[in-house]
Amino acid sequence: MNLHAKASIGGASLLIAGALVLVPVLPASAASSTLTVCASPAATYTTIQSAVDAATDGDTIDVCAGVFDESVTITKNITLRGAQHGIDARSGRTNPAAETVISAANTPLRYSGAGVTSATVDGFTLQTTSDHASVIGAVEANADGYTWTNNIVDAHNGYGFNFRSTGAAPTTINHNRFTKAGGDEGAVAVTSVPDGETVGDVHIVDNAFVANGVGINIIGPGLTDGLTITGNTATDGGNFLVSAATGGPTLVSNNTITNAGASAIFLSGNNDGMTIRGNTITGGAATGVRLSSDVVGTTKNVVIDGNTIVDRGYGIRITSASATGLSITGNKISGSSSNGIRIEAAGSITGSGNTITGTASGFAPCLDDTASKVCPALQTFAAPPASGGGSSDGGTTDAGDPAAPASTQGAAAVAGSAPGALAETGFEGAPVAVLGALVAILGAALVLTGRRRARA
Task: State percent of the chain over pLDDT 70.
Answer: 76
Residue 442, pLDDT above cutoff 80:
no
CB-based contact 123:98 (threshold 8 Å) = no
Judge whether 237 lies within some domain: yes
The residues with which 109 forms a beta bridge, in sequence order, are 72, 136
Residue 268, pLDDT above cutoff 50:
yes
Domain membership of residue 331 as a residue range: 131-377
CA nearest neighbour of 32 among 68, 75, 84, 76? 76
To which H or E segment does residue 410 belong? strand 410-413
Judge whether 198 lies within some domain: yes
- pLDDT of 261: 96
CA nearest neighbour of 418 among 192, 236, 203, 254? 192
CA atoms of 296 and 301, how far apart (whole Å): 16
Query: Which are the contacts of 381, defined by CB distance < 8 A and separation ≥ 6?
Result: none
CA atoms of 22 and 12, how far apart (whole Å): 6
β-strands 274-277, 303-305 pairing: parallel
Confidence of residue 184 (pLDDT cuts 50, 70, 90): confident
The total of other beta-carbon atoms located within 10 Å of residue 345's CB is 16
pLDDT, averaged across the chain: 80
Residue 324, pLDDT above cutoff 50:
yes
Judge whether 36 lies within some domain: no
Confidence of residue 212 (pLDDT cuts 50, 70, 90): very high
Judge whether 159 lies within some domain: yes
- pLDDT of 352: 95
The domain total for the chain is: 1
What is the pLDDT averaged over residues 438-442?
29
CA atoms of 208 and 210, how far apart (whole Å): 6
Range from 80-94, 188-202, 299-313, 346-360 carrying the lowest mean pLDDT: 188-202
DSSP string, 314-359: EEEEEE-TT-BSEEEES-EEE--SS-SEEEEE-S-EEEE-BEEE-P
Residue 449, pLDDT above cutoff 60:
no
If you average pLDDT over each of 132-136, 197-201, 412-416, which comes out highest?
132-136
- pLDDT of 445: 34
Judge whether 75 lies within some domain: no
What is the pLDDT averaged over residues 154-173?
92
Residue 10, pLDDT above cutoff 90:
no
Query: Which are the contacts of 95, defined by CB distance < 8 A and separation ≥ 6?
Result: none
- pLDDT of 4: 44
What is the pLDDT averaged over residues 253-265?
98
In order of 253, 302, 403, 424, the CA distances from 260 in angstroms are: 17, 22, 21, 11
Judge whether 402 lies within some domain: no
Judge whether 206 lies within some domain: yes
CA atoms of 449 and 68, how far apart (whole Å): 62
Tens digits of per-residue pLDDT, 365-378? 999 998 888 999 99
Q: Per-residue b/e over 355-380, b at no fewer than 16 CB within 10 Å?
A: bbeebbebbbbbbbbeebebbebbbe
Residue 435, pLDDT above cutoff 50:
no
The total of other beta-carbon atoms located within 10 Å of residue 392's CB is 25
What is the maximal distance between C-alpha atoms in the chain? 116
- pLDDT of 423: 38
Tens digits of per-residue pLDDT, 39-96? 998 899 999 999 999 999 999 999 999 999 999 999 999 999 999 999 999 999 999 9
CA atoms of 255 and 252, how far apart (whole Å): 7
Judge whether 398 lies within some domain: no
What is the pLDDT averaged over residues 99-111?
96
SS (H, E, C) 252-315: EECCEEEEECCCCEEECCCEECEEEECCEEEEECCEEEEECCCCCCCEECCEEECCEEECCCEE
